[in-house]
Amino acid sequence: MSKLFTVEAKLYLRDPVAPFFSLLLPVVLLLALGSIPTLRQVSPELGNMRPVDTYLPGMMSMLAVMTLAFTVLPAALTTYRESGVLRRMSTTPASPAKLLAVHLILIVLVSVLAIAAIVVAGYLVHDVAVPRNLPGFLLVFVLGSASLMAIGLIVAALAPSGKAAPGIGSAVMFPLMFVSGMWFPRETMPEWLQRIGDYLPAVPFGQAMRDTWAGSAPAVHDLVVMAITLVVASLVAARVFRWE
């Protein structure tokens, strides 16, 4: 399994697009947006902290995870299924299940690297503190990442080809980004849209990331929504996923 992981890691690094959007882009956006004066001003609504201290790191961390879950993972698995790799692997010790496990581990590790890069770059350039509630942050990261990856497996199962998988994943990802307030403040959205967003995984994930980064405990509602999403999406993915 270690050899399989090494091969998949090399394939990931050889693709210039995936590392850029999952590792570099969140850091670049954090540094660029953190240079905006209004985002560097202390806000009483944020507990006398700056948006660059809580909002931006949390959202950029979620961006990295979503990019991996909705584009990188579906594209890789769909391409392998389309080319017959999964079918051929079923006759070898390196079973398709092991390949799936390797990809999930790889995505988790890349997500950790992305968040570490965000923390280091934010600290060095904008004096952004590390997550103040580290245990809560780790819990949210694991639960939120797992729920999004489960949805990514559904995308991989339904995508007709490797080329179509990133597009389908993006069609799922960008609306989730929108309702989570990544592009526009959620307060400016219609109330009905805000209520819908409360029960989609990206909104609780992003909110819980910001809360724990600021030192607060994640809301029970956010944890419950992510947990339910993980269970339901995992069951659906197990039901519809095709190895060939």
Q: Which tens digits make up the pLDDT trace of 114-170?
A: 888 888 888 888 888 888 899 999 999 999 999 999 999 899 888 988 889 989 999
Contact 86, 244 (CB under 8 A): yes
Contact 58, 26 (CB under 8 A): no
pLDDT value, residue 95: 65
pTM score of the predicted model:
0.85
Q: How far is it, in rounded angstroms, from Cα 203 to Cα 100?
A: 27
Per DSSP, what are the bridge partners of residue 43? 49
Q: What is the DSSP letter of 132?
A: S
Q: How far is it, in rounded angstroms, from Cα 125 to Cα 10?
A: 30
Which distant-in-sequence residues (6+ apart) come within 8 Å of 231 by Cβ? none
Taking each continuous run of H as one helix and of E as one strand, the counts in the chain are: 12, 0
Q: How far is it, in rounded angstroms, from Cα 153 to Cα 174?
A: 17
pLDDT value, residue 143: 93
pLDDT value, residue 42: 79
Contact 54, 46 (CB under 8 A): yes
Q: Quick one: CA dihedral 179, 22, 100, 77, positive or negative?
A: positive
pLDDT value, residue 133: 92
Q: What is the DSSP letter of 187?
A: G
Q: pLDDT in tens for each of the 244 residues of the chain?
A: 677 778 777 777 777 777 777 778 888 888 888 888 887 887 777 667 787 777 777 788 888 889 889 988 898 888 888 888 777 776 776 666 777 778 788 888 888 888 888 888 888 888 888 888 999 999 999 999 999 999 998 998 889 888 899 899 999 999 998 888 877 777 788 999 999 999 999 999 988 988 898 888 999 999 999 999 999 998 998 888 777 7
